[in-house]
Amino acid sequence: MIKMKFWSKHWKSSKQPRKQRKYIYNAPLHVRHKFLSAHLSKELREKYKKRSFTVRKGDEVQVMKGKFKKKTGKIGRVDMKKTKVYIDGITRKKVDGSEIPVSFHPSKLKIINLNLDDKKRLEALTRVLKMEEKHGKTEKTVGTKVLEGVKEKNKMDSKSKTGST
């Protein structure tokens, strides 16, 4: 009998690291794709109003942690099974003298320039901007209106309490 790996899409978060690791390691590829996201640079963050986005071959990234910190390059390969990214130009030497590409986890990278050859990717980036244009609102104005409504309600409640006593 073949024992199957167990993975549930209905998994609720756990504080236990072993359960978190199990969820990540046994996740199918369509879910692992979501783990391949990196932070956007400040310029891209302001432009697209998103903090992070999934990495793709052709994106220009900067390494933020480790031995190769502050080095930049284009992504040459994305390995979804291992959730690793390989950057062109960043290699290390093996003992026998041959050079191999260094793998990076996407969370340790920052996207500097996006590869926008794919129309669906561009559409996913601009989705938030389109919604704001459609509703004619920005996130800041919506937040302040909600706060003002709460303040007015609190004033009315305090007036009704003082008037009744």
Residue 1 has pLDDT above 70, yes or no: no
- Which CATH number, 2.30.30.30, 2.80.10.50, 3.90.320.10, 2.60.40.1120, labels domain 14-115? 2.30.30.30
Residues 28 and 97: beta-carbon distance below 8 Å: no
Residue 145 has pLDDT above 50, yes or no: no
pLDDT tens for 50-59 read: 999 999 999 9
Average pLDDT over residues 73-102: 95
CA 154, CA 91: separation in Å to the nearest integer? Answer: 61
Total-model pTM:
0.73
CA 50, CA 115: separation in Å to the nearest integer? Answer: 16
Confidence of residue 138 (pLDDT cuts 50, 70, 90): low
Q: Where are the domains of the chain?
A: 14-115, 117-165
Instruction: Decide: helix, strand or coil at residue 155.
Output: helix
What SS3 string covers 32-76? Answer: HHHHCEEEECHHHHHHHCCCEEECCCCCEEEECCCCCCCCEEEEE
CA 134, CA 140: separation in Å to the nearest integer? Answer: 16
Residue 32 has pLDDT above 80, yes or no: yes
Residue 116 has pLDDT above 80, yes or no: yes
